[in-house]
Amino acid sequence: MDAQEKIEALRRELEHHNKLYYVYDAPVISDYEYDMLMEQLIKLEEEHPELVTKDSPTQRVGGEALSQFEPVRHQVPLDSLADVFSEDELYLFGERMDSLLSAGHDYVVEPKIDGLSMSLEYENGVFVRGATRGDGVTGENVTENLRTVRSLPLRIENAPERLIVRGEVYMAKSVFEELNAQREINGEPLLANPRNAAAGSMRQLDPKVAASRKLDIICFNLQYTSGEPYLNDAETLDALRGMGFPVVPYTRCASVAECVERIRQLGEERNGFAYDMDGAVIKINSLAQRAALGSTAKAPRWAVAFKYPPEKKESRVLDIVVQVGRTGVLTPKAIVEPVRLAGTTVSAATLHNQDNIDRLDIRIGDTVLLQKAGEIIPEVLSVNKAKRPEGTEPFRLPSVCPECGSPVVRDEDGAALRCTSPECPAQRLRNLAHFASREAMDIEGLGISVCESLIDSGLVKTAADLYYLEPGPVAAMDRMGEKSAANLLAAIDKSRQAGLARLLCAFGIRQVGQKAAKVLASHFGDLDSLMAAGAEELTAIPDIGGITAGFITEWFANPQSQHLIGRLRAAGVNFQSLEERRDDRFAGLTFVLTGTLDKYTREEAAAIIESFGGKASSSVSKKTSFVLAGENAGSKLTKAQSLGIPVLSEEEFEERIQ
């Protein structure tokens, strides 16, 4: 069997297992076995890049970032549905169908997934284009982002010459919760609900970001086929499922009364679905009858969407507690008498911040109205002041951290109060995970789960404790062992020489990310010189403004920061800059890197550019000075050529850095 035959066989096998997993929920191999098959395919494709195709399962990781989304005019409009909000309105819909359709008719009822509607186009069984709904007539081309969705088939067998399918991209509730937990660790704003998270992920210009969000898709309509026509909707859904599409679960109903009963059942079951659903769809099953009924200017006449009302219940506030999150933000939470709400028992609700508490005028002892925001997060909607007990007092957040006693400050760009201590116990996990992250000290193997284990076992309280770990206690942790412990300790030891720029980034000083850390390391050369600098000297440095300078001086003045630095110094962590400025030949120039270089990784090339005083950017614009292009350069090269920006080959780049 030659390479092409092996590659095709592996692709078929992987797509077969995708279908079993995503469509039939009946996997026959483990995730590890699947990953091993994928590794074989990746290796073969790396050896034979000329055999890589866009429909290969390996292409789901995301390609080059786009500069914008192109408009797409839908061949078949993606109509929206008219909403109804009561069972009476459902029966009125049934009466209209009875009056308009002389022949007998039945219905299909299915969950209404709360996601992002998409048009999916296939030619000769290969996925060629995907677009958002947009205004129903014109959407945006998000093909590259859709390729990253594992549950979307990139190739289908026995397909007609042309096929257009409508589906809903969504983020599973479990994935949404994981994503928000990670964003909290990273100090990023939390996402409101799974739909917003899915929509934001699908509209990322960098497909690699979309790939990291673990989106799913479920299909609910056959828009167009060049093959044999179907008679009814149920038939098309069964056919799509047979082709390998994840398809919405549907129920055929002989009457509107049966539809109403099924909609009630879905309402009771909806908290058990992997995805958010905000309603149910009822539609005529016969495709010929649909064509006869047609559409209004706004929506088809043959279907309506029933919207479930958000469940709201009253409860009494027993207490208001203040928690310190992993980013140091103080979050007030109302402890309420337990109440059953949207499928779960709620005993606490977020109050967000002091501004929200003041707006609601919420006090301990109040009776409040609760609702789950996005069916996920319990929140207080209002206070029933008629039931307020006498003697209640307005609630104020504390001026010091309830965990460590350090002063708290209000964010200048928001309403959050934040603990100023770098060693606050509540921030341990976030601080430790950030310290070890790739952009900071780059400690391989020290991910979130290992950080949690180190903290839970009492081995680590601050990042400095990493450099004092012993093999025995680390090996004794759950799922660790001697070999894993040895690898982890070797990676920690290696990070001692990461250099000043990475260390500054690892400290987590507000507004000091990778870029500012490199600027500071290059300017001062060592940590002690930076610590001795005042605000005036800091603001004289390009890219360091007054607010950032204030955050830097405050952080170094904190006694807990000084304690952390002292222990890192004693552990032999390098406080010197590794970025030795060679000269300023690239000063004022901005480079964009694209494609694959032979002698350097992109990170290495960017470091060389910065060592000569230049800047490395991720996107091409009129301000770009040069584009450094390697093999398989993509849209960045095309845009640079259209703007007349000089393009350097790797050889020309080397000539400039001699």
In the residue annotation, 112 being an active-site residue is answered as: yes
Among residues 19, 112, 615, 636, the one annotated as catalytic is 112
Contact residues for 530 (Cβ-Cβ < 8 A; gap 6+) = 500, 504, 520, 524, 552, 556
Question: What's the CA gap between 214 and 561, in Å, rounded?
Answer: 37
Q: What are the residues facing 323 on neighbouring strands?
A: 331
Q: Tokens standing for 550?
A: 């204030």
CB 366 within 8 A of CB 374: no
What is the CA 440 to chain-centroid distance, rounded? 21
Contact 200, 145 (CB under 8 A): no
Instruction: Pick the closest to residue 427 from 568, 329, 551, 353 (CA basis).
Output: 329
Answer yes or no: are the C-beta atoms of 131 and 74 closer than 8 Å: yes
Q: Which residues of 569-592 are buried (b: 16+ CB within 10 A; e: fewer)?
A: eeeebbbebebeeeeeebeeebbb
Beta-carbon contacts of 233 under 8 Å, excluding residues fewer than 6 positions away, are 108, 221, 250, 283, 284, 285, 286, 287, 290
Give the HSE-up count for residue 122: Cα atoms under 13 Å, Cβ half-sphere. Answer: 29
Residue whose C-alpha is closest to residue 510's, from 466, 470, 577, 555:
555
Phi and psi, residue 235, nearest 5° = -60, -45
Active-site amino acid positions: 112
